[in-house]
Structure 1
Amino acid sequence: MSIKQRGNSWQVAITLDKRYRKSFKTRVEAERWELEAKLRHSKGEAVDDSRRNKEGKTEAITWEELRQEVTRTRWKNQKSTKTHEINGKAIVELIGQDALVKNITQRMIDDVGVMMQEENEEVSPATINRKYSSLSVMIKHAKKRGYISKDFDYEIPKYKEAEHRIRWISDEEERNIISYLKTIKPEVADMVVILINTGLRLSELWRLTVRDVTDTHLTVWESKSGKARSVPLVKRVREVFDRYKENKAPDSRIFPDWTNWRLTHYWNRGRDYLELANDPQFVPHVCRHTFCTRLIQRGVPITHVQRLAGHSVITTTLRYAHLSQGDLDLAILALEEWQEGRKSTLKGEPESTYIKEGRVGALQGV
């Protein structure tokens, strides 16, 4: 159906030369506009001429005009420009390219998620939330420029996202994939060693220069969070960097000419070798997950892990605050030994060795 009821209004959604969505107070008005739009299109006329008013006031800006303006002024120079453009176009498609921004209502905002689910029953909550994030940016931009009343009070819906299992590399998997990569591309094996032990993002590794790596630390000057950070180097990583820094100028990149795609090509060969081709989470980024997980499991305070990983908010780091089954077994053992130790102490016997040695440290930082 091209006409559907949305709360107290009726919405027309038709595709002619492009997609049009408009809302009306009654079904009769919606049907009349649909017929007129089809007639204008058949005559080669503009389907909808509801542009700026005669005085050219900006309050009559359309959603498509707003999207183009936000793309040009806000999203154009960002790393995720393409993603923002895709999300922005999807939002405008749902609301209507020629719909006037000034007519936005809370009901229209709520309907974005509903319409996405109607058009694709398998759309994930995470995808809907990304679209809403772009819509929020567009609305804020419009309010600042007077396209929408600054008194317009609205709420962006938040769809509950399922918690996904965070995959990390086991010690055995690490040994096996590095051993295999050494036989087909030793340079990639060295990269994996660096990634697992520094938590670098791939983009950060490609930008790394000789000057950024000292005998004890590496410094990331440009990161996703926008803040620089320094990461101490373990011995095996220092040894790797020493080989690649040798006879290179200070401003030379450690790994020139490498890209995500090129690395992934060799990684996938290693994944096939480990018979993990059907594990969708076993991708190069799992090295970063491994770095964070191992720190947490070894009792490093969560705030330290946040700084080492370069997370802008602590909630991101908290995703890694999980324990392996072995850690959980030790936790219960600690409780049981404490109870037994308490009974013994009451009888005048010494406290449990487990408690005296403080082996509950695996729970610190969680």
Structure 2
Amino acid sequence: MLILGIETSCDETAAAVVARDADGRGRILSNVVHSQLEDHARFGGVVPEIAARAHVEALDGIVARALAEAGIGFADLDGVAATAGPGLIGGVLVGLMSAKGIALVHGLPLVAVNHLEGHALTARLTDGVEFPYLLLLVSGGHTQFVAVEGLGRYRRLGTTIDDALGEAFDKTAKLLGLAYPGGPAVERAARAGDANRFALPRPLLGRDSLDFSLSGLKTAVRQAAQAAAPLTDRDVADVAAAFQATVAEIVAIKARRALAVFTKQTGVTAPVLVVAGGVAANQAIGTALRAAAAAVGARLVVPPAGLCTDNGAMIAWAGAERLAAGLVDGLDAPARARWPLDADAVPKLGSGQHGAKA
């Protein structure tokens, strides 16, 4: 089974071709990602209108390149998948409408993929992880623990009640005058810093909860930076190191708790913890999670960095998994700005007429 996947939910224009073999294993035949970092860097964050226009300009060429690198044409495909949400609605519309056009013209089945499901299933493509497993999704818009019980069966164990971890990294970088994107910039600065110089809070660690809260931590970072102003390079490095060490500790402690809950609920004695999303590339957090998983006899799986950030291969693979299960969408499949992975869970963040953010 050959699937074309299209991803345009934020500031990466991506397309990929993935093969799903008869035994259920996957192979990436191509994975083309065009980053818009330069377009947004001067604004310190993603500008939705600029992102959508850039997707329009780039997507046709990215799809053509993905097919060429895979050595196939549209006639060789068994289906086309595209992110249908959640994300910046303008960008989501560009990719989904392009996929609908391809499906209509070439008579292909369409799979409208939840972007978060793409992240959730990537470890099955890269490492052949079997259901069930525990997912820690850490990205610019989401921070949550999810029990992945099967295809389309996702049960939330904990989530952020305010800000996502990736957003906290970006805001910290902006406070410290670091470059965009904030995550890699904070990590680089932290390497030269003293993590013990500034005492920062660990929100919700004293509660028996798997939820996260990061807004107060961001406030504490701002107060620390203001107290040390005007900031020297040493000050910046120390604040960055303190922030990174704090979030790594929070995530690791929460992960151990989540693994205990997951084991109790599922009866799986040697659980797998899968980490996905852009923040999964942070080495300090990865080190803390490896220690946390090892302490309770769990296996940690982190896909390669290029497959943790937004990409077309994860969407193609999610499409292949769904298509193999007979799950196909019509050409009326909607684009969604919000689309929780665990749609039946009680909303904790951003509940409104457009649905919950988390």
Q: TM-score range by the shorter chain?
A: under 0.3
TM-score, normalised on structure 2?
0.26
| Structure with the largest fraction of helix | 1
Q: Which has the higher contact order (CA 8 A, sep 6+)?
A: 2
TM-score, normalised on structure 1?
0.25
| Structure with the largest fraction of strand | 2
